[in-house]
Amino acid sequence: MVSISLIFKNRDSLSPAYVPKVLPHREKQINFLLNMFGEAIKRRSHMRSLQLIGGVGTGKTATVKRFSEKLKRKAGEYGNDLKVVYINLRIEGPSRFLIFSSILNKIAPEISVRGYSPEEMLGIIVSYLIEKEKLALIILDEVDYHIMRRPKDKIVYDLTRLDEIAVHEYSNVIGTIFIARNSKWTEHLDKAELSTLGRVQIKFQPYNAKQLSDILEHRCKLSFREGVVDHEVIDFISHVTAKPPINGDARYALDLLFYGGIIAEEKGSKKVTAEHVRLVHSSLCPTISSEDIASLPIERLYVLLAVARALKNAGTPYVHIKEIEETYKIICEEKGIPKIIDLYEVIDDLAIRELILIRGVTKIGIIGVSAEKLLNYIDNIMRRIETAIQQDKRWH
Ligand code: ADP
Ligand code: MG
């Protein structure tokens, strides 16, 4: 049954996957990127690599997606077919093998990856592009997370030296873009990697209240019916989001707006009010980005649930991993899900994702939020995921 909403005009434009056509306050970054690759889509050139650096919700992913579309279109105008390979390393590709097979698969879906080593796959990618006269651009998002987990993978080395494996100097890969939350990730790279990574960095500063308000105004027009969200409410959301601990995460602002709308609808209100937004704000965990939870594989979400539950039951700032293990066993039985064998590896991963804090095996905790709040938050997310699975649609 589809009922007509008095609040929303188009909910999809508030979903995390939606990339708006216009990105206020990111025109400079998009133009810089277009300039950087402007020549490479016209004539053969050596590959370039660069970094996009900025905190959570500063628009890095949205910018790179908008830019990719524009660059593809421009390449087309010059008669060139540009393939843009985008990989989010928090979601896909835990190993070098999987990353390279994913790149190969996205560039040449007709070639089977079976039986090839990662090095061979790179060779195949380059020969394929040359033979078919296609160009490619590789984008690795959340690369800092990957390098923290697997510093010895040397993916930066391989993906910045593709011209070296091409027979005639040019690999047809015009460049590699590495996206990270801060520049510390390069400390894990060796000299050879640093030299080809290059120094070009595009910085994404956190949005201030005025910028957030522009972003929200724009999005409101697309998603809400006229007159449902007053400027005052947008102003309120922008100020809450610009301040610590949220520090300008645009995703948080959009979450406040979206769930504020849901509450208004549930309450049968004709408008989204500041009180609706306050209710959402008090139920979210400001120090944990909703995107980080959304990109967490569901089996790992159950482990995070176990950490929160063990902490709440213990009532202490930290718990021993054994207690987490016990709680986790119970959760698996309750939910009828198979247990993860290597719990230690998952706990480490959650710490690298900055969802939990580890001080040795005896001291595992969380920061910035109470265990109770985290529990409610995870419960909420679980419910959303379960509904989405039922509707055969992941919510992120
Ligand atoms: P990051 O990758 O830096 O964590 P995202 O690009 O995912 O951030 O942005 C978070 C959310 O905010 C996305 O839903 C995105 O569409 C939106 N967003 C970010 N910057 C802008 C902008 N300048 N204009 C409109 N929407 C934006
Ligand atoms: Mg991102």
How do residues 368-396 score in pLDDT, each as one tens digit? 788 888 888 888 777 766 665 565 444 33
Ligand 1 is surrounded, with C-beta below 6 A, by 16, 19-20, 23-26, 54, 56-62, 215, 250-251, 254
pLDDT at position 295, please?
A: 86
Q: What mean pLDDT do residues 95-115 have?
A: 93
Amino acid type, 173? V
316 three-class SS: coil
Query: Ligand 1: which of 61, 64, 140, 208 to mutate, most ligand atoms within 8 Å of CB?
Result: 61
Q: Which segments within 122-185 are labelled E, that is strand?
A: 134-141, 173-180
Report residue 101's pLDDT band, with 50, 70 and 90 as the boundaries: very high
Closest residue by CA, ligand 1 atom 13: 251
Atom of ligand 1 nearest to the CA of 25: 23
Among 241, 251, 295, 353, which residue has the most ligand 1 atoms within 8 Å of its CB, making it the best to mutate? 251
Distance 25 CA to ligand 1 centre (A): 11
Question: What letter represents residue 124's amino acid?
Answer: I
Cα angle for residues 139, 195, 59 (degrees, 5° grid): 30
Looking at ligand 1, which residue's alpha carbon is closest to its atom 1? 57
pLDDT of res. 290:
81
- Give the number of the atom of ligand 1 that is nearest the alpha carbon of residue 218: 25
* Distance set, CA 187 to CA 179, 191, 194 (Å): 15, 10, 9
> Up-side HSE of residue 26: CA atoms within 13 Å toward CB?
30
Alpha-carbon distance of 27 to 279, in angstroms, equals: 34
Give 171-213 pLDDT, tens digit per residue: 999 999 999 999 999 999 999 999 999 889 999 999 999 999 9
* Largest CA-CA distance found in the chain, in angstroms, rounded: 66
Average pLDDT, the chain: 91
What is d(CA 389, CA 384) in angstroms, rounded to the nearest whole number?
9
Nearest-Å Rg of the Cα atoms of the chain is 23
Q: 27-204 maps to which CATH number? A: 3.40.50.300
Q: Are 72 and 222 in contact (CB under 8 A)?
A: no
| H-state helical runs in 1-142 | 27-38, 60-77, 96-107, 118-132
Note the pLDDT tens digit of each residue in 119-159.
999 999 999 999 999 999 999 999 999 999 998 889 999 99
Task: Look at residue 389 in the predicted model and tell me its pLDDT.
Answer: 57
Element (H, E) at 223: helix 209-223
Domain limits, the chain: 11-16+207-284, 27-204, 291-390
Share of the chain above pLDDT 70, in %: 96
Say if CB 270 and CB 309 are below 8 A apart.
no
Q: Which atom of ligand 1 is nearest to the CA of 59?
A: 6
Distance 248 CA to ligand 1 centre (A): 11
CA count, 13 A, side-chain hemisphere, 205? 6
Higher-pLDDT residue of 306, 394: 306
Cα 74 from Cα 77, distance rounded (Å): 5
Give me the pLDDT at residue 394, please. Answer: 41
Range in 57-71, 284-298, 320-334 the model is least confident about: 284-298
- The answer to whether the CB of 386 falls within 8 A of the CB of 369 is no
The count of residues in the chain is 396
Which contiguous run of DSSP H or E holds residue 364? strand 363-365
Residue 292: Cβ-neighbour burial (10 angstroms; 0-12, 13-18, 19+): middle
Give the pLDDT score at 388: 59
Q: Please, how many CA atoms are within 13 Å of residue 345, restricted to the half-sphere of its CB?
A: 7
Of ligand 1's listed atoms, the one at least distance from the Cα of 249 is 10
* Top-confidence residue, 25 or 388: 25
Let me know if the fold of 27-204 is the same as that of 291-390. Answer: no
List the residue whose alpha carbon is closest to atom 9 of ligand 1. Answer: 59
pLDDT of the residue at 30: 98
The CATH architecture one would assign to domain 291-390 is Orthogonal Bundle (1.10)
Distances in Å between the Cα of 235 and the Cα atoms of 211, 230, 258 are: 11, 9, 15
| Overall average pLDDT of the 23-28 stretch | 97
- Write down the pLDDT at residue 396: 39
Nearest CA to ligand 1 atom 14: 16
Q: What is the CATH number of domain 11-16+207-284?
A: 1.10.8.60
Supply φ then ψ for residue 50, to 5 degrees.
-155, 170
